[in-house]
Structure 1
């Protein structure tokens, strides 16, 4: 059996879709469906069982309960960068992850988990998987950073397959339930349909309007990386998962208007509540990923947005 936590979420549901395409059906989907609209992400997927996250946490460590599990994709987390209840975030993103990690180590089960590029903070020290580059600026980022810190010494103390993925700006199918946390491509698409214009933030941190840059990575590429490590359990560690390219929000908006063959770009004031807690530039250093042996090319924004909008507007 394969366990996917956060399986009704964005990346988790895409992982299950890809596992299904491989013929995998013996999957335990773990989630917390307080937002029942997430069922649209999983209605076309085949799994053996569903379990609520709270019940799953209670079962972790129960003798023989998860006998037969060969891999855990741990995608479940509080992903809101605007959540400042530190106790809540640490319980959901840190304590939960620690318990699951130790269960996997005890059973020698492959443990692949979602970290985040947010651990790099403003990015002023770079985006290498190195302590000198890491300075989280919100609670979500801190929870992911601290779990990576917890994992690091265990990588030298155990031979269990443990892999952490620092996702950069992921976009693509099955993210609609995220609301304001959905990707810019998702929002620009809706804005062009409804208002014939994509709304971008004005410049900040010395950058011109819409010229803030992010490493935008399509969810299909993220899933490919996850499955590659499932197939290569000899590779262990923490890795950036991005394209290695920084592209502007203007490029994303242009890709959306090009797909629709209509629409303008409008710049709106930069939100006060995001000042000091916003990444104006990200670009993954994927040298570690390449050294591990992952060689596949990543989609550009133009390629990835076109693929996404083909799906989104079908």
Structure 2
């Protein structure tokens, strides 16, 4: 059996779908399907992400944590845990909540895996590089945190580094850069720029980007945009090939401007134009104007499957959204 936390979320549901495609349906999906979120027209219930997936059971994240804490779970039957569950809201400033959700929960799963020698694959984040002024290479010299979300992820990475030398099972943390693709409807304001631009163009005919700030021109902030299918491929490559334990960047190694991102969406949709809006005051000093993964460590581990071209990935994603935007069961 394989366990995927955050399985009703963006990356988690894509991992389950690809496991299904590769013949695995013996999957326990773990998540919180909600009911207590703020009313927001942009937020869509994440249970919808599970409708197109095959799995043997569902468990609420708190019930699952209690099960392993009470040692009521037979770890001998688990082939791997993909820990994708987290609070990913970079505008959440309740630090205690972030640490309980993203740090303490992850520690509990890590020690369960270490006890039962289960391969553990978890979601880290490129936000652990702060402003990026020191680069994007895994290691202390480049790391920083501009908000509680980033701090919770960085704190867990540093904890993993302490226990990894004594581990007798695989531990892989993947620092996701700017991921986009199917099944991100429920993320609302945290959804990728591509999903937001797709909706903006359909609603207004315009792709709205931030004006320049911090030495960057209008729409010229740069990000390493990575297609979710590539993120899944990296996860499953480590699982299937027994890649070496470590914390790795999961990005293309190429940065694109937001202007280039908007142009790709406009091209794929066959309509729309770019418009600029004021840079939010609340984000000044807390915003990554530039990210670009250093892929050296990942490639040294043996990963050689490459990454999608941005235009091709955006076209595929737009076609998917046009077709309804959710996975279909059995397809």
Whether TM exceeds 0.5 here: the answer is yes
Alignment match, 1:21: 21
Q: CA deviation at 1:159?
A: 2.5
Shift of 1:232: 2.1
Structure 1 residues 76-134: Cα deviation after superposition (integer angstroms, max 9, x where no partner): 00100001101100000000000110010010000000000000010000000010000
1:243 counterpart residue number: 252
Larger deviation, residues 301-310 vs 174-183: 301-310
Please state if 1:192 is matched with 2:192.
no
Tell whether the 8 Å contact from 1:251 to 1:301 is kept in structure 2 after alignment: no
Please name the residue that 1:154 is paired with: 163
State the 1:234 CA deviation.
4.5
- Aligned residue for 1:283? 292
Alignment-derived partner of residue 37 in structure 1: 45
SS, match of residue 163 in structure 1 = strand
Please report the RMSD computed on the Cα atoms of aligned residues, expressed in angstroms: 1.0
Say yes or no: does 1:78 pair with 2:93. no
Partner of 2:78: 69
The 8 Å contact of residues 161 and 233 in structure 1, kept in 2 or not, is answered as yes
Which residue is equivalent to 1:310? 319
Range 62-71 or range 182-191, more displaced: 62-71
**Does the 8 Å contact 2:27/2:57 carry over to 1?**
yes
TM-superposed CA distance for 1:66, in Å, is 3.0
Which of 56, 63, 67 matches 1:48?
Answer: 56
Partner of 2:12: 12
**Greater RCO, CA 8 A, separation 6+:** 2
Instruction: Give yes or no for contact 2:243–2:301 (8 Å, CA) kept in 1.
Output: no
| Paired residue secondary structure (2:8) | coil
Instruction: Determine the C-alpha separation between the residues in 1 that align with 2:203 and 2:158.
Output: 44
Aligned equivalent of 2:135, options 116, 126, 137: 126
Corresponding residue SS for 1:60: helix
Alpha-carbon contact 2:178-2:225 (below 8 Å) kept: yes
| Residues 194 and 261 in structure 2, CA contact (< 8 A), matched pair in contact too | yes
Aligned partners of 1:9 and 1:38 also within 8 Å: yes
Is 1:264 equivalent to 2:285 in the alignment?
no
1:75, CA displacement in angstroms?
0.4
- TM-superposed CA distance for 1:189, in Å, is 0.6
Secondary structure at the aligned position of 2:45 is classed as helix
CA contact (8 A) 2:243 2:302 kept: no
- Residue 181 (structure 1) shift: 0.4
Whole-Å Cα distance in 2 between the matches of residues 144 and 307 of structure 1? 30
Structure 1's consecutive aligned runs of 4 or more residues displaced over 6 angstroms after TM superposition are none
Q: What is the number of residues matched between the two proteins?
A: 314
CA distance in 1, matches of 2:74, 2:254: 40
Contact 2:208–2:275 (CA under 8 A) maintained in structure 1: yes
Match of 1:223 among 198, 213, 232: 232
Q: Give yes or no for the alignment of 1:205 onto 2:217.
A: no
SS at match of 1:164: strand
Kept in 1: contact 2:206–2:273 (CA 8 A): yes
Give unpaired runs (5+ residues) of structure 1: none
